């Protein structure tokens, strides 16, 4: 992996989704962590791969999470996370299509079997990469 990796973060009140993506937008690692363990998780990702930026969704609890992220020494860019929850649901079901009788129920009426904050973080990181201003100044 080159030094063009990006970490996307979907901030929440008690937990955050995270995703490490390479410069092509492919997911290298992702997950959901309680806020108290997010710092350690991100430090492990930074130790494993050269990361050029953190793309932080500018929604719920973004301010306090951003202050914690500043200690990591990686540029932080705020990214609009509008519609990411809805789109994350679609991404989840694309990777985990319903099976059995659930195939008969429209996807729009189904709920994922688990929290999808990590899928929202993937979308936030991909939005950042699509902006093309990753070399620009952080927000």
Give every strand in the sheet of 5-10, ordered side by side.
Answer: 27-34, 15-21, 5-10, 51-57, 76-79
- The answer, yes or no, to whether residue 135 has pLDDT greater than 50, is no
Within-domain flag for 44: yes
Domain at 46, CATH number: 3.30.420.40
Strand ranges inside the chain, DSSP E: 5-10, 15-21, 27-34, 51-57, 76-79
Within-domain flag for 105: no
Percentage of the chain modeled with pLDDT above 90: 84
Return the pLDDT at 108. 87
Mean local confidence (pLDDT), 58-73: 93
- What is the band of 46 on the pLDDT scale with cuts at 50, 70, 90? very high
Domain that residue 36 falls in: 5-81+114-131
Fill in the DSSP letter of residue 136.
S
Within-domain flag for 31: yes
- pTM greater than 0.85: yes
Within-domain flag for 124: yes
- The answer, yes or no, to whether residue 87 has pLDDT greater than 80, is yes
Return the pLDDT at 16. 97
Q: Give 123: exposed, middle or buried? Use CB within 10 Å, 0-12, 13-18, 19+.
A: buried
Fill in the DSSP letter of residue 34.
E
Q: Give 36: exposed, middle or buried? Use CB within 10 Å, 0-12, 13-18, 19+.
A: exposed
**Strand duo 15-21 + 51-57: pairing:** unpaired
């Amino acid at each position: 992996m080159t030094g063009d990796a990006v970490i996307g973060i979907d901030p929440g009140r008690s937990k955050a989704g995270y995703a490490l993506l390479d410069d092509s937008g492919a997911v290298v690692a992702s997950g959901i962590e309680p806020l108290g363990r997010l710092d350690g998780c991100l430090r492990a990702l930074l130790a494993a791969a050269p990361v050029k930026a953190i793309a932080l969704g500018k929604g719920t609890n973004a301010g306090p999470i951003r202050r914690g992220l500043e200690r990591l020494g990686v540029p932080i860019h705020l990214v609009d996370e509008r519609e990411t929850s809805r789109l994350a649901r679609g991404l989840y079901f694309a990777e985990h299509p319903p099976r059995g009788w659930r195939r008969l129920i429209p996807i729009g009426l189904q709920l994922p079997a688990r929290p999808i904050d990590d899928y929202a973080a993937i979308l936030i990181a991909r939005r950042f990469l699509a902006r093309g201003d990753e070399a620009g100044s952080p927000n």
